[in-house]
A and B are shown apart, each in its own frame.
Chain A
Amino acid sequence: MQTLRVVIVLLAVAVAILSYALWGRAGRERRAALPPEEPVISVSQLTERKPVKEIELDYHSPDLPPGPGQDVFATQCVICHSPRYVLNQPAFPRKIWTAEVHKMVKGYGAPIDPAQEKVIVDYLVSWHGKEDAPVQTKSLPK
């Protein structure tokens, strides 16, 4: 009887945690109150009546898991994009992460030196990637 109670309590806790993880956060974001509706000003009256448009962007950036390289990622990569850009990618093999990080340097001018590139790739592979599949067509010469 005691065991049954413990099992029930544990199950309830597990369900609560899972529900929070899956729906709690997204649900809160979705239920945010609507801002008061502003009347739409036609384009012909815009310069006269509301010449300035200004928006403020909320902070939605997630934290990334701790691990070697997290600090380098947090300083060098986040200049141009949020960690969510990485979270949204599939867990790529090392080869693709290596090419992606290099593209950031070569294409987008990210201030990442070659040693840091390696650290960032290792970090991405460690929690959101996988090692390349071994080449199966040929065995390496002994």
Chain B
Amino acid sequence: MSAFAAACKNGSIARTVIDAGLPTNKGMGSNLRTWARYPEKTDLMMLADRPPLLETPLLFFLEDLTPNDAFFVRWHYAGVPTRVDLRTFRIQVTGAVNRPLQLSFDDLRTKFEPVTMTAFSQCSGNSRSFFQPRVPGAQWTNGAMGNARYVGARLKDVLNAAGVKAGAVEVSFRGVDVPPLQASPHFEKPLTIDHALDGESIVAYEMNGAPLPMLNGFPVRLVVPGWFATYWVKCLSEITVRTEPLHNFWVDTAYRVPTAPGYNEDPKHPSEVSTPITRHLTRAVFVTPESSAQLKRGTQVEIQGIAVDDGAGIRRVEVSTDGGRTWADAALDRVIDKYSWRRWRMNWRPTEARGYSLQCRATNAAGETQSASQWNHGGYGRNVIQTLDVEVVA
């Protein structure tokens, strides 16, 4: 019996469907995915059910704020938190501090100045399925990302309330999720003490005007703007100030990228040195049209997308309709917030009935732009210039 027939017999048609959705390393993939609806969520593309890995369909990125029920979901272990009681929930601030704290949800809300911030976040492995050669990991297309307005307390204010002792080098973060086995490493991520005290990160208790969905980290989530979501610890419950750097699987083995610019390495000769993934690389992503769209010759279409970076600020987005030979500037929407994505648009009237190869590339205020090729063994930080193949009909 062939593997396909075996999979069908067992009801595992997901494999066929998913593979059919990734025809090439170009374009946006397609929506031929398995869909599922999880609690507090709308229909999302399900990459895995346990732990839930849910991807946001592109159409939601037409809005500046990604709705909570459409926001992507990524957990590491099957045992995700499913119940929180605010009457007993506490965030512990311990380690090298003068006054260890136990903060309730309402302490966080009422004892610290609320800060509102619109920030972009994305999984370190967003768009991983487009790397060639393919790499293991969650096979996201471009939807492991989102933009949301958060309200929270400054991490700096929380740490100052506890009083950071001299000699602190790092602050690390854990959530209420527990590993499935004694031997499994607890998910915990660190920031340097300077980063933690720079006033930018917040402990967020509100997302787009509402409590966070359970699967996005209810009741509070760390927001580290400009940095990949692996640092945005969900269901945050333990903040530890450290006098020695944290070493664990999540720091020393996982979420590491080559030190070369653009997180780049040669598949045949992978880099021997690596470093933890940190900030977002500059990148533009097409939102519309989608690769499945049929455009009409002589009819104007708006090409639209979003561009992201680490907070320096998107300054320019260029679009090519001839596979990268010539480029024209797209119009940039207003800046929403320092760490938000920025929308861009360009009107286009295709003159011939044929296939077109569209490309987009962003440049930020620091002069960082995108390159035509990129690969790393973890499939992290993809920011290669995107190519979108569309069909124009008469």
Contact = CB atoms under 8 A, between A and B. Distances in A.
B82 A109 contact: no
Contacts of B77: 80-81
Interface in A88-109: 88-90, 92, 96, 99-100, 107-109
Interface in B235-283: 249, 253-254
B366 interface: no
Given A81-B51, A89-B139, A26 B34 contact: yes
Nearest to A93: B133
Contact of B184 (A44, A52, A108): A108
B371 to A, nearest CB: 24
B302 interface: no
Contact of B183 (A30, A47, A54, A109): A109
A52 B85 contact: yes
B18 A88 contact: yes
A64 B10 contact: yes
A39 B138 CA distance: 34
A43 interface: yes
A21 B185 contact: no
Contact of B136 (A25, A63, A79, A100): A100
Contacts of A126: 3
Interface string A73-85: 0000001111111
A113 interface: no
Interface in A38-54: 40-44, 46-47, 51-54
A92 B379 CA distance: 15
Interface string B196-217: 0000000001100111001100
Contacts of B39: 55-57
A72 interface: no
A29 B82 contact: no
Given A43-B205, A107-B185, A127 B82 contact: no
- In terms of DSSP, what is the predominant structure of the interface of chain A? loop
A135 interface: no
A80 B180 contact: yes
Interface in B30-49: 33-40, 43, 46-49
Contact of A44 (B34, B40, B109, B249): B109
Contacts of B62: none
Contacts of B211: 40-41, 43, 46, 53
A109 B181 contact: yes
Nearest to A52: B85
B182 A22 contact: no
Contacts of A65: 3, 6-7, 9-10, 12
A94 to B, nearest CB: 13
A87 interface: yes
B312 interface: no
Contacts of B82: 54-57
A118 interface: no
B86 A46 contact: yes
14 contacts: A40-B209, A40-B211, A43-B210, A44-B109, A53-B218, A55-B40, A57-B38, A63-B10, A65-B12, A82-B49, A92-B136, A107-B249, A108-B185, A109-B183
Interface of A: 21-22, 25-26, 29-30, 32, 40-44, 46-47, 51-67, 79-85, 87-90, 92, 96, 99-100, 107-111, 126-128
Closest 4 interchain pairs by CB?
A: A109-B183, A65-B6, A60-B49, A55-B39
Interface of B: 3, 6-19, 33-40, 43, 46-53, 77-78, 80, 82-87, 104-106, 109, 134, 136, 138-139, 151, 179-185, 205-206, 209-211, 214-215, 218-219, 249, 253-254
Given A42-B210, A84-B48, A107-B254, 19 more contacts: A22-B16, A25-B11, A43-B105, A43-B109, A43-B205, A47-B86, A51-B86, A55-B38, A55-B83, A56-B39, A58-B38, A61-B50, A62-B11, A64-B10, A80-B78, A80-B184, A99-B136, A107-B253, A127-B3
